[in-house]
Amino acid sequence: MLHIDLPTRAEIEALANHRGAAAVSIYLSTSPLPQASNGDRIELKNLAKAAIAEMEQSGTDKRDVRAIEDSVEALIGDDDFWADQANSLAIFATPQSIRTFRLGNKLANTIEVSDRFLIKPILRAVTFPHNAYVLAISMGAVRLIEVSADLPPHEVSVPSLPDGAADAAGRSSHIERKGNMASGESTSESALLIRYSRAVDHALRPVLAGHTRPLIIAAAEPMASIFRSVCSYPHVADEVMPGTADRTSDHEIAAAARATLDRIYSSEITAFGEVFSSRSTQDRATSDLGRAARAATFGAVETLIVDMDAEVPGFVAEDDGAITYAKAADGVNYSVTDEIARRALLSGARVIAARREDVPGGHELAAVLRYPI
């Protein structure tokens, strides 16, 4: 089971708003297997040493360096914390605080030292979910399955989840009638499925509360449509896995769910590419870093897709978005593409962190603008 605590948009915006003399971002590839935690801790220690060296070289106040070093060392030594991990760990440290998020996707080991946090990798974690829930529901059975990219599927315990429609209806059989006077809508199959779906939704609420991973419905019709119509979870996938899944193994369901996630992501990338192409003819799209920086500074970005691995150190002027490039990261400058993403995010834009091959034209970024700039 993956122990994931994805940040909300509000939490990401809080990270994006941070300014401080010392801000350290660490992204660590981890394993959800407890026996692998020692290796993960050693790697974190090495990354922390590199960050501390960078802070010292850039002239960071020694007290700030020590405070960050102590907080990371305390995290490394916390056995309870390392007992429950996912596929990556994001750490944001300042002299005053340390914040962590366990992420479902695999991220490369990365550090950045600046006066602001590196947010592109964590945006990737919420851009493309590598894990999902699958609700396999039929008249006779229902189960919730957690699916991740590289772990076996896991059936999630859901208290108060009905065993099936008959259980939800409080009858021994879903075709049983309450008496000669019971008829019409109250005893129809449609009414029963609605009642059953509401009972399932009610049971799922406390389990899914706070999550943003997709919920994929595996069901035949009309069960699939009826459940979708009453489901209160806001992240139900549009695509349904058709057919009755009563006798389908968790592994088969997981394989189908992973394919569904791939299609969801692919369709989003394709849709963005089409919009980008259309807006380019209206002078409302750009892949030029300088123009994108100005647009982000003036709040003109509507949607931005950015290469999460692009390393372009430098500075972006606060007043007009002019870029000053640097030869290498030095503990003072920061990622230009990350700063463009940060400004776009804070102006209300949708920001997609992607791989280079998914960015139109293979550039560092591509921006669709609200108006020409």
What is the C-alpha R_g of the chain? 24
Over the chain, what is the mean pLDDT?
A: 91
Q: Is residue 1 part of a domain?
A: no
- 150 band by pLDDT with thresholds 50, 70 and 90: low
Q: Which pTM was predicted?
A: 0.79
Residue 101 sits in the same domain as residue 193:
no
Q: Is residue 277 part of a domain?
A: no
Q: Which value, to the nearest 10 degrees, does the dihedral of the CA atoms of residues 302, 308, 309, 314 take? A: 50
Q: How far apart are alpha carbons 366 and 267 in whole angstroms? A: 17
pLDDT at 75 over 90: yes
CA dist 218 → 87, 91, 155 (Å): 26, 36, 14
Identify the pLDDT of residue 180: 43
**Structure tokens given for 269:** 């990338």
Residue 165 sits in the same domain as residue 249:
yes
Identify the pLDDT of residue 173: 43
Identify the pLDDT of residue 177: 44
Query: Of 280, 281, 237, which is closest to residue 262 (Cα–Cα)?
Result: 237
What is the CATH classification number for the domain harbouring 361?
3.30.1330.30
Average pLDDT, integer, range 204-227: 93
Proportion of the chain above pLDDT 90, given as a percent: 76
- pLDDT (tens digit per residue) in 248-262: 999 999 999 999 988
Q: Is residue 272 part of a domain?
A: no
Average pLDDT, integer, range 307-313: 92
CA dist 306 → 63, 90, 145, 334, 365 (Å): 35, 19, 32, 16, 4
Q: Identify the domain boundary among 93, 127, 161.
A: 127
- 62 band by pLDDT with thresholds 50, 70 and 90: very high
- 7 band by pLDDT with thresholds 50, 70 and 90: confident
Residue 117 sits in the same domain as residue 175:
no
Residue 122 sits in the same domain as residue 178:
no
CA dist 49 → 24, 28, 42, 312 (Å): 12, 14, 11, 23
Q: How far apart are alpha carbons 113 and 50 in whole angstroms? A: 10
Identify the pLDDT of residue 129: 66
pLDDT at 346 over 50: yes
Identify the pLDDT of residue 371: 95
Q: How far apart are alpha carbons 300 and 316 in whole angstroms? A: 16
Residue 122 sits in the same domain as residue 150:
no
- 169 band by pLDDT with thresholds 50, 70 and 90: confident
Identify the pLDDT of residue 127: 75
Q: Hey, is 134 helix, strand or coil? A: strand
Which of the residue ranges 57-61, 125-129, 210-214, 287-291 would you say has the lowest mean pLDDT?
Answer: 125-129
Q: Is residue 73 part of a domain?
A: yes
Highest mean pLDDT among 139-148, 256-265, 285-294: 285-294
Residue 24 sits in the same domain as residue 69:
yes
Residue 113 sits in the same domain as residue 166:
no
- pLDDT (tens digit per residue) in 170-183: 744 444 444 444 44
What is the CATH classification number for the domain harbouring 61?
3.30.960.10
Q: How far apart are alpha carbons 197 and 228 in whole angstroms? A: 9
Q: Is residue 234 part of a domain?
A: yes
Helices (H), the chain: 9-17, 37-57, 62-76, 79-83, 120-127, 165-169, 189-208, 223-230, 250-280, 289-297, 336-346
CA dist 25 → 101, 119, 121, 202 (Å): 12, 8, 10, 39
Identify the pLDDT of residue 102: 93
Q: How far apart are alpha carbons 316 and 289 in whole angstroms? A: 10
Q: What are phi and psi of 270, to 5 degrees?
A: -60, -45
Q: Which residues constitute the domain of residue 322?
A: 282-369
Q: Is residue 332 part of a domain?
A: yes
The residues pairing with 102 across neighbouring beta strands, listed in sequence order, are: 89
What is the CATH classification number for the domain harbouring 205?
3.30.420
Q: Is residue 107 part of a domain?
A: yes
Helix 289-297 and helix 336-346: axis angle, to 10°? 30
pLDDT at 333 over 80: yes
Average pLDDT, integer, range 272-301: 97
Through-space distance between the first and last CA atoms of the chain, rounded to whole angstroms? 47
Q: How far apart are alpha carbons 120 and 125 in whole angstroms? A: 9
Contact present, 217 and 240 (Cβ < 8 Å): yes
The residues pairing with 350 across neighbouring beta strands, listed in sequence order, are: 303
- 212 band by pLDDT with thresholds 50, 70 and 90: confident
pLDDT at 100 over 60: yes
Q: How many structural domains compose the chain?
A: 3
- 1 band by pLDDT with thresholds 50, 70 and 90: low
Q: Is residue 115 part of a domain?
A: yes
Query: Of 132, 139, 133, which is closest to residue 219 (Cα–Cα)?
Result: 139
Identify the pLDDT of residue 12: 92
| Residues whose CB falls within 8 Å of the CB of residue 126, separated by 6 or more in sequence, listed in order | 6, 7, 9, 12, 212
Residue 258 sits in the same domain as residue 138:
yes
Residue 166 sits in the same domain as residue 115:
no
Contact present, 129 and 146 (Cβ < 8 Å): no
